[in-house]
A and B are shown apart, each in its own frame.
Chain A
């Protein structure tokens, strides 16, 4: 078995080549996932690059990305496989119109035919299992499915196989790298968690965020990126309804570049803060917070 990554550092390098800046934890877990052949459950606030991680790993390893978007009401026929009912009907009809539809043996043959691979529609999970080339399987927002539906995933996550009653068990020809993402809107079942490696992606620290801005926003200057990252860090310290995510940081940086801003002052920040924060109350709070620091510290300023 050959691995795409030789060690933790090469994971980080591989990911940064495709513009994903992984920290120590992320790189370590991705490396382990490949070595231990275990799925990774990625959790964290919205917009911190959970989905992007799977995409970037696929890109870095040159694997095909197969994505299963979860939603309430997802079932077997959407996630695993489905029999192509229409085609099966056609097959039966074609047989009827043939010369002599006689004998049980004939029917037996039709029946065997009907449940062959020809009539099987593969859905993302089965497709990931059957793929001959390397695959990254992304099961997005797994917390959205009901707790009962989670059980669908268990077989594939632990044994990398799918059991189809009519066909038997389909085992993986290669072990796909599996990422599950969750926004933690509900507690996932123990059974699912036990089968996965757990990775919590939080907001990046100052340096990493700055690097992300530099890597992802064309035309951004070093000092602007630094300022953006520092302001965002300060904003996150305020107790807000929704703290700015990395993607919002990037949007903000892009806007500033488009506006030709090189140095962020209070006015620019106030005018563009609506890109960073999405709630009226949050915006007001942030503006108040930044404006008020003046009076509060006016005394030591005069003293020094």
Chain B
């Protein structure tokens, strides 16, 4: 196929697109930029999907960045391509709706622009039901448009985010109710009683279709917003942090899932790095005895120095984590991290505390299901002493009393928490004692550095007794910590 060389407006658009990607945090290098420019000369922009993948292949080299890329792409190129033209209230040409809605034949298209208004809410709901039942993509897209136009109540220039419109549209469509109706229909259509397996499969199928509809609605809203406000402004409002920059404390459920998946490679990295250090590491100190022994064959000249084998370090890790309400989101993440670490290192002991402290090592041992382990920690661990408000001082006291003597010169202690002590006694001397005995003591704080030592936070009181206090609010910082550690 002969493809015309890209015209300059397209290149200008691409330049804007790439600078937006960079603004969103994607590392796009100059070479990649040039590659993208070359790539789009081979793929016509009309073939939207291929065009998108071509750009992605040259610009996005990390799958975790795909979502960010997709959002920017939709914004920049959503007004291109024939089937994505903005159509107000009109059904796409050639779509025959008469078999879906009774009594609508002909009237629909002849009314032109006002067609959508003529349809009642029930009729739209009914068509939605039919479309989902059949899994008809084209009809679903058309309905998404209708729904947005009818329910979202979008007004030009109104400074409201897309989520507001999305919420309004979806609330009116009542997708949960539709799902139940679809399931009811499926049960009726089935020749006999649905088995649990069949039931489950039907449900998954409908859920997938509804999910697609939701995406169509989202895309439609975005298209309209872009048309209203312009590309740059829109891209800016939609900008979201990349997975590695998501704040643990404010991560949404979905983001949390993504984070969880990202933890495993990180701990594996940590373990691999430690192992490699062992293997390729410098040799140990000079072995005098062995050198003398070998010098005999050179007439007593120590020509061949011998070294001791380095003793492989077997790090013992003690994780002491705050699981109180103020750091609840971080705590959940912490538990996942503890679980991941304990799979990689032979000796990991974990403790959780609020104002009391309990060892939870056994909950993570030999458990395949992290969800279950976390649940057990939450349900069974005895972490409340008086009132269930964090009291670092007392928790450290308990730790010192019960487990203090297990802290040895090989032990690395990691404390995870925001050091908000509710104005209790700090008992910082314990941390000092621990530091004396342990190999290293690290404090990971999920709060932004600017909030440290404000209010009841006493990070620096503890911090002076640690080998390092780190702000760990996102994966990037955690990764930085891991790399520093080893």
Contact = CB atoms under 8 A, between A and B. Distances in A.
Interface in B310-348: none
A29 interface: yes
B208 interface: yes
B204 interface: yes
Interface in A1-28: 6-8, 24-25, 27-28
A101 interface: no
A198 B56 contact: yes
Interface in B189-225: 194-197, 199-201, 203-205, 208
A264 B197 CA distance: 9
Interface stretch (A62-70, A82-90, A102-110, A288-296): A288-296
The DSSP consensus for interface residues of chain A is: helix
B132 to A, nearest CB: 15
Contact-residue size bin, chain A (C-beta under 8 Å from the other chain): 35 or more
Interface stretch (B39-47, B167-175, B433-441): B39-47
B60 interface: yes
Nearest to B200: A293
Contacts of A291: 196
A297 B39 CA distance: 51
Nearest to A158: B31
A195 B50 CA distance: 21
A24 B61 CA distance: 18
A28 B272 contact: no
A28 B265 contact: no
B53 A28 contact: yes
Contacts of A93: none
B179 to A, nearest CB: 10
Interface residues of B, number: 47
Contacts of B196: 266, 290-294
Contact of B50 (A24, A184, A194): A24
Interface string B21-49: 00000010101100100110011000101
B1 A7 contact: yes
B84 interface: no
Contacts of A196: 61
Given A185-B268, A186-B269, A31 B200 contact: no
User: Max chain A CB contacts within 10 Å: which of B1, B29, B32, B53?
Assistant: B53
Contacts of B180: 300
Interface string A189-225: 0100111111110000010000000000000000000
Contact of B199 (A24, A185, A294): A294
Nearest to A6: B1
Interface stretch (A50-58, A227-235, A253-261): A227-235
A233 B205 CA distance: 9
Contacts of A237: 204
B184 interface: yes
A190 B54 CA distance: 20
Interface in A124-153: 146
B450 to A, nearest CB: 30
A239 B372 CA distance: 12
A43 B27 CA distance: 18
A197 B61 CA distance: 8
Contacts of B1: 6-7
**6 closest Cβ contacts across the A-B interface?**
A281-B368, A304-B184, A294-B196, A28-B53, A25-B53, A193-B61
20 contacts: A8-B43, A8-B47, A28-B53, A32-B58, A35-B39, A41-B61, A186-B265, A194-B31, A194-B32, A195-B31, A198-B58, A198-B60, A198-B62, A227-B201, A230-B201, A231-B201, A266-B195, A269-B197, A297-B199, A304-B183
Given A36-B38, A279-B368, A285-B369, 9 more contacts: A6-B1, A28-B54, A36-B39, A146-B276, A194-B32, A197-B58, A231-B201, A281-B368, A282-B368
